[in-house]
Each structure stands twice: as C-alpha cells, then as structure tokens.
Amino acid sequence: MGRFEFPRVDLGIAIEVARAVLEVGGTPKLSTIAAFLKMEESGGGFRVKVTAAKSFGLIDGREAVQVTENGRKILRPISDDERQMALKEALLTPPLYNKLISRYANGSLPDKEILKNILVREYGVPDKSVVQIVGNFIRSVEFYNQQYGTPLEAASRATPEEPTALATVESADGNAIRIFMPGLDDALIRIETEEDWEVVESIIKSMKRKWKKRKEGEAS
C-alpha cells in the first residue's frame, strides 16, 4: 500500500464501530460486534470498518476488541472540550492524515486533483486507491470541521450551485461509482471486489444519517 497505511472508511463511520463496541460492553469478540451491526464477520466491509476504527485509535485488540481511552472520550465525554481534543487526536492518528493536516494546518486543502497528485508522488499512495483515500480524508476532516471548525477551516471547494438530490450516482466506465450529496463531499469508489460494494453501502448509510440530522435541524 505504498509508504503509508490509510483508513478505507472515514472517521464518522469508524466512530460508529467504536460506539457498537461500547454499547455491547466489555471486550466483545468481533463476531458479536458484527452481529450487533448486522454485518457478516467474514465480510470485507466489516473488516474494513474495524481496521479503520483501529487506524483512528478508537478501538484495539484482535479477535476481541475494546474501546480505547481516546475513543471513550469521544463517545462518553465529560465536557465538550474533552471531546474536541479527543476527536482531533483521532483525526491525527493515521500517519497519512497527520502529514496532510500538518502540511495544510494554516490554510485550506488544495484542489482535489492537486491533492491526489501529492498523495501519489510524495506519499506513495497507489493510483488505483487515491480517489477513495482523498474522499475519506476530506469527509473525515469535514466531520470534525462541522462541529469545531478546525484544524482545517475549508476542507473542499464547494460548487456555487449544488444539486438537491440525496445522492446522485454516476458511472463512466461501469467500474466506478460517484456519490454526491449537497453539503457533503463527493466520493468516487472504484469497484473491483465485493468488498468495495460494502464500502459504498456504508458511505450511503452514513450520508443518509447526516441528511436526516440536517433535515431535523431545519425543522426545529
């Protein structure tokens, strides 16, 4: 995977895995967590989520897992300041994310195409994975920004006119799916394995939760 390992889902999805571990309680086996999330333990999508939760420092363990101290600070904070610091620590835990955030801490992220080129040329990210990695990174930063506004004030450049649909799906060559929702970054997922379909399903579920939360806020 080049010089850096990287999460294959975003921070928001990884936190949901840690939340499941916390709600089950104790040090549950992965099979128990998979059942709680209504996923197959042997499925690629479940393994991807668990690996990402570990990459963000939210859970640890192998066949049996537990929520880390930092994960507990995010899910069971005793103050908003504690949660903010813990969330920032999680965002900075993956080495690749740490490098990028440190690099652009005093400004906004570059254009996506430039960011993709930087990842490939300077950080050894494979071409076939770079679009997905950029999407997960930007969604993770925005997950933090939507609540606290830092460490990056502008994670992406929004277009002046955005579509109003929940999600639009495009496929140029039959091997990739682009998902877009207003107010969130778009994701282009290259479909090569069944595991990639499970990642697509996870992203759509996460986007739906954010959409519902935003609609509830507009109605109140």
Residue-range domain boundaries for the chain: 11-219
Tens of pLDDT along 174-215?
A: 555 656 554 444 455 666 666 667 667 776 776 777 677 777
**27: which residues sit within 8 A by CB, 6+ positions away?**
61, 64, 65, 66
pTM: 0.68
Average confidence (pLDDT) over 75-104: 90
Q: What are phi and psi of 164, to 5 degrees?
A: -100, -5
36 vs 173, residue with greater confidence: 36
Bridge partners, residue 64, by sequence:
29
At residue 43 the predicted structure's pLDDT band, cuts being 50, 70 and 90, is confident
Q: pLDDT for 118-176, tens place per residue? A: 999 988 888 888 999 999 999 998 898 888 775 544 333 333 333 333 444 444 445 55
